[in-house]
Amino acid sequence: MRTEPDDQLWSAIAEPSRRRVLDLLVSGGEATASVLAEQVPFTRQAVSKHLVALEEAGLVSRRKQGRDVLFRVESSRLDQATRAMSDVATRWDRRLASIKGLAEAAHVEAKGRSRR
């Protein structure tokens, strides 16, 4: 597989525990890996790994504050992912609406024919 930024983005958010970490950062704002680890049922090492993956996908950025490393969500990147998913959903809504229209028209036509 190609490892373009967008592939990274999808793999980053496809993993549920990574989404959990991302979710915590969205709801709680900036946090260190240790603080995040207190709120999830997996280890600090696992949290750090997830943060690196999220960072590589551009979904999270880090800054140093004293001895702490704080992580935060890059909201524009997250918007991009949200829009992509919403767009896939919207396309299926349109396709299903077309299928509905076609099937219902075919059914009405068939009923008309059988009455004649």
Partner 1 sequence: MADLRIERDVLIEAPVDVVWRTITEPDQITRWFADRVELELKPGGRGHLGFGEPGEHKGTAIVVETVDQPNRFAFRWKRPQDADPEPTNSVLVEFTLNARGPERTHLRVVESGLELVTWPDEEKQSYADDHNGGWAQCFDRLAMLFAR
Q: Residue 110 carries which side chain, given as an amino acid letter?
A: A
- Which residue carries 């750090």 as its tokens? 48
Torsion of CA 73, 75, 79, 80, to 10 degrees: -80
Query: Binding-site residue total for partner 1 (CB under 8 A)?
Result: 45
Q: Does 28 bind partner 1 (CB under 8 A)?
A: no
CB of 5 to partner 1, least distance (A): 10
Q: What is each CA distance from 32 to 17, 37, 80, 93, 100, in whole angstroms?
A: 17, 9, 25, 40, 50
Task: Identify any residues that bridge with 31 across adjacent strands, giving them in sequence order.
Answer: 71
Q: Is 85 a binder of partner 1 (CB under 8 A)?
A: yes
- Measuring CA to CA, which residue among 54, 70, 62 is closest to residue 15? 54
> Least distance (Å) from partner 1 to the CB of residue 104?
5
Among 28, 38, 43, 96, binds partner 1 (CB under 8 A): 96
Q: Is 45 in the site for partner 1 (CB under 8 A)?
A: no
Pick between residue 25 and residue 37 the one whose CB is nearest to partner 1.
25
Give residues in contact with partner 1 (CB under 8 A): 1-2, 4, 6-7, 10-11, 13-16, 19, 22-23, 26-27, 73, 75, 78-90, 92-93, 95-100, 102-104, 106-107, 110
